[in-house]
Chain A
Amino acid sequence: MLSSQADQAPNDLLLRFFRAARGVGCRISPPEGMDAMQAVAAVGYSDKAALRDALLLTIAKTQEEKASLAEIFDVFFKSPDPRNLEEAAKEADESSDSQSGDDQGEGDAEGEGEADASQFGDLARMLMSGDRAGVQAAMTAAADAANLSQIRFFTQRGLFSSRILEMMGMARLEDDIAAQQAAGNQPQRLINARDGLREAVRDMVNDAITLYTREGTEALRNEILRNVPLNRLERQDVERTRKLVGEMARRLRDKYNKPRRKKNRGRLDTRKTIRRNASWGGIPFITVWKQKRIDKPKIVALCDVSGSVARVAEFLLLFLYSLNEAISDIHTYAFSGRLVDVSEILDNNAIDKAMQEVMKTVGYGSSDYGKSFQDFDDDFMGGVTNRTTVIILGDGRNNNLDPRTDILRNISERARRVIWLNPEPRFAWGTGDSEMPRYQPYCTFTRPCGTVRQLERVVVDLLEMDRH
């Protein structure tokens, strides 16, 4: 039985490992998978340290990935697998050695009731004979048959445990125990063995849950997080959302940090033209024109960090600051009652630390858009040029103070465009003390951005805008 399982392509084992690895965030493309398989074939399974190094070297491509992969490796290869043939065989030897000793002890201790092992089912006989390797193999076989590696959610724990036990012949074992009891015997050893078996199966299923369910639940949870309103985010989800936003920003960055050039007909690139026409003796058949790089977005962000908007501001800034290479220049001002320049804090710190710092300086007051705009007008208006995109993040709730739309109009006249992002859904704009309708005419466009998904859309638009 053992050998038949070992014949099963070891690749199957690796494929399961890849799935577990994907669950902890390693992205394994098919060619990478093939590399890993070749690497494993080169080092073999016998040396666990080398196997681990080989997988870490070929699959994990960052330090964090290496750390989480090492963790998953330990869980994965802890579970005794038929591949550990040598170990299993050794164990079998040991147990058969000790078994001969046991047999005599057994005869003495429990004697009569269980002597007729011949009438037991396979499972009971295996348990009674202390054939640990055999039980292990049967467990693995049953797990394979029950498709344990397909487990999706932790709620399936009971289902898979009982399915595996059933396949191993639990029903017959129970019958055996019942028959013994009916015959007036106390089959204590058999009952202990049954409980031990149950526990072993449960452990196995638990390991499978750690290994295989993450992939599915991860995707599901991320999908939910994308659509949940940011200001209602649970504390424990903040870290995960940060990671998600970071990941999204990384993808956008890869896509948009490529150089963008535009033909600038009118100026000849003499050097390149001569080179291109070298084959015609320098007579310019083909002309090469100087190309001009298109500017990446220059951003001035004004973020309301009062109360409920603060969380959204954090994620917007996290997004913008993770784009580093795709954006050429970014200045950030935070305000609630008054406005201050927080660019330096954000440039020099990780986002969560920076946010704390920003909140310490300006946060949590009640917002006064008029005064904040006034502050901006006084000190920072010079930074706005016809190449700047001004992003204002805020709910526009001004506590019935003077909204100073005149300053916003000034900004919008100077800037290339003004984008207003509002964490509230559109239908709430203009209700109560919201000044959105009065600000809206001076904005190039306005967007609700209460969720990660909306945030992403805004950032994509921002990056796309100057590309035409």
Chain B
Amino acid sequence: MDSLLDPATAIEAVDRGLAEAGYIASRQISTAVFLAQRLDKPILVEGPAGVGKTELAKSIAAWQNITLIRMQCYEGLDEAKALYEWKYAKQLLYTQILKDKLGEVIGQTETLPAALAKLHDFGDIFFSKQFVEPRPLLQALEQKDGCVLLIDEVDKADAEFEAFLLEILSDYQITIPEIGRISAVTKPIVILTSNANRDLGDALKRRCIHLHIGFPEPRLEARIIETRVPGVATELRKKIVAFVHELRTLDLKKLPSVSETIDWARVLLLLHTSSLSTDVVRDTLNVLLKYEVDMETAIPQVSELIDKAERAFVPG
């Protein structure tokens, strides 16, 4: 990013860049990405499932043309799987070699202290970078051209795991006790996502820009559909968006998200549907709703919802 650009233009540029990568961002998302780059801060993205949290990271990588390193979090994820691991087998082999070479190294020294001194001078590479197996976090720091580091669903990992993240989040470095500090070659763009399964620690939150992505405004959602499912006619697109919007006002166990809207639009396209009729909607509603109870709530109201969607005005 050119730091000389004035903020409005820079945010605009983020907007356009993400759009080129197929991601239609709200103003707030663009501002967050802009600030993340300007302040070298990670972004913590929260929001319901399927609103494009992970997609954001992918799109930034595509736009900036850098690699995406993804680390999926899960319960029990530990240091050895996230940061680094020693190559034990190779280390053991190394000690074997060392044993064989020991005679040569010590040579014809007379006394024990002299032999020890010689051994001391001999470079010890047992704990060195050669034997470190980098895991996603360390890999991200080693990328020369920078990268997007996506730490997905951080709330699924244990609370202790957050502690491992703190150093990399605030200083872009990792400390390996036997070797020392490894700093980022180029600072990666870090995106963390969370579904709020559990409250994240304050320490983690404090280090991040906190972005909440909710369900988009109809206008934005229409634009997203336009980009993602280009074949849908404008009129139908507006109705799809309006209908989903109405559906979200119901008391459902899981509200349909943007990803569901996109899927639905694809389905309707495949069925060559030109307008929303009660039958079509009923038959395809399972694309939008994932629970039996939700279906039961929504099905009786389908025609009413279609009516409302017809009347709703979706700009753009």
A275 to B212, CA, bound (A): 42
Q: Does A282 make an interface contact (CB < 8 A)? A: yes
A50 to B12, CA, bound (A): 11
A50 to B39, CA, bound (A): 15
Residues of A within 8 A of B96 (CB): 281
Chain A interface residue number, banded: 35 or more
Q: Does A257 make an interface contact (CB < 8 A)? A: yes
Q: Does B86 make an interface contact (CB < 8 A)? A: yes
Selecting from B197-205, B227-235, B243-251, B280-288, the interface stretch reads B197-205
Q: Does B186 make an interface contact (CB < 8 A)? A: no
Task: Determine whether the beta carbon of A57 is less than 8 Å from that of B28.
Answer: yes
Q: Does A108 make an interface contact (CB < 8 A)? A: no
Residues of A within 8 A of B39 (CB): 35, 38-39, 42
Task: Determine whether the beta carbon of B31 is less than 8 Å from that of A43.
Answer: yes
Residues of A within 8 A of B198 (CB): 325
Task: Determine whether the beta carbon of B31 is less than 8 Å from that of A54.
Answer: yes
Q: Does B92 make an interface contact (CB < 8 A)? A: yes
Task: Determine whether the beta carbon of B210 is less than 8 Å from that of A60.
Answer: yes
A137 to B209, CA, bound (A): 35
Q: Does B313 make an interface contact (CB < 8 A)? A: no
Task: Determine whether the beta carbon of A50 is less than 8 Å from that of B7.
Answer: yes
Q: Does B211 make an interface contact (CB < 8 A)? A: yes
Q: Does B53 make an interface contact (CB < 8 A)? A: no
Residues of A within 8 A of B158 (CB): 259
Task: Determine whether the beta carbon of B126 is less than 8 Å from that of A279.
Answer: yes
Partner of B28, one of A56, A61, A281: A56
Residues of A within 8 A of B126 (CB): 279
Task: Determine whether the beta carbon of A257 is less than 8 Å from that of B92.
Answer: no
Number of contacting residues on B, CB 8 A?
36
A57 to B35, CA, bound (A): 9
Residue interface bits A44-57, CB-to-B below 8 A is 1, else 0: 10110110011011
Task: Determine whether the beta carbon of A259 is less than 8 Å from that of B205.
Answer: no
Q: Does A250 make an interface contact (CB < 8 A)? A: yes
Q: Does B95 make an interface contact (CB < 8 A)? A: yes
Q: Does B291 make an interface contact (CB < 8 A)? A: no
State the majority secondary structure of interface residues on B.
helix
Among residues 40 to 90 in chain A, which have CB atoms less than 8 Å away from a CB atom of chain B?
42-44, 46-47, 49-50, 53-54, 56-58, 60-63, 66
Q: Does A360 make an interface contact (CB < 8 A)? A: no
A254 to B206, CA, bound (A): 15
Partner of B8, one of A50, A63, A325: A50
Residues of B within 8 A of A258 (CB): 159-160
Task: Determine whether the beta carbon of B91 is less than 8 Å from that of A279.
Answer: yes
A39 to B91, CA, bound (A): 47
Among residues 248 to 273 in chain A, which have CB atoms less than 8 Å away from a CB atom of chain B?
250, 253-254, 257-259
Q: How far is the CB of A47 from chain B (nearest CB, A)?
A: 6
Residue interface bits B86-109, CB-to-A below 8 A is 1, else 0: 101001100110010000000000
Task: Determine whether the beta carbon of B91 is less than 8 Å from that of A50.
Answer: no
Among residues 287 to 316 in chain B, which have CB atoms less than 8 Å away from a CB atom of chain A?
none
Residue interface bits A228-250, CB-to-B below 8 A is 1, else 0: 00000000000000000000001
Q: How far is the CB of A422 from chain B (nearest CB, A)?
A: 32
Q: How far is the CB of A360 from chain B (nearest CB, A)?
A: 21
Task: Determine whether the beta carbon of A281 is less than 8 Å from that of B7.
Answer: no
Q: Does B223 make an interface contact (CB < 8 A)? A: no
Which of B35, B126, B198: most chain A Cβ within 10 A? B35
Q: How far is the CB of B119 from chain A (nearest CB, A)?
A: 14
Task: Determine whether the beta carbon of A58 is less than 8 Å from that of B27.
Answer: no
5 contacting pairs across A/B (C-beta < 8 A): A38-B38, A53-B27, A58-B210, A61-B202, A281-B96
Report B's interface with A, CB cutoff 8 A.
6-8, 11, 27-28, 31-32, 34-35, 38-39, 41, 46, 86, 88, 91-92, 95-96, 99, 126-127, 158-160, 198-199, 201-202, 205-206, 209-212
Report A's interface with B, CB cutoff 8 A.
27, 29, 31-32, 35, 38-39, 42-44, 46-47, 49-50, 53-54, 56-58, 60-63, 66, 250, 253-254, 257-259, 275, 278-282, 325
* Other A-B pairs, 19, CB within 8 Å; known A35-B39, A38-B38, A66-B212: A32-B206, A35-B41, A39-B35, A39-B38, A43-B34, A47-B8, A50-B8, A50-B11, A50-B27, A53-B32, A57-B32, A57-B209, A60-B210, A61-B206, A254-B201, A259-B158, A278-B91, A279-B127, A325-B198
Q: Which 8 A-B pairs have the closest CB atoms?
A: A53-B31, A43-B7, A61-B205, A42-B38, A61-B210, A281-B95, A57-B209, A53-B28
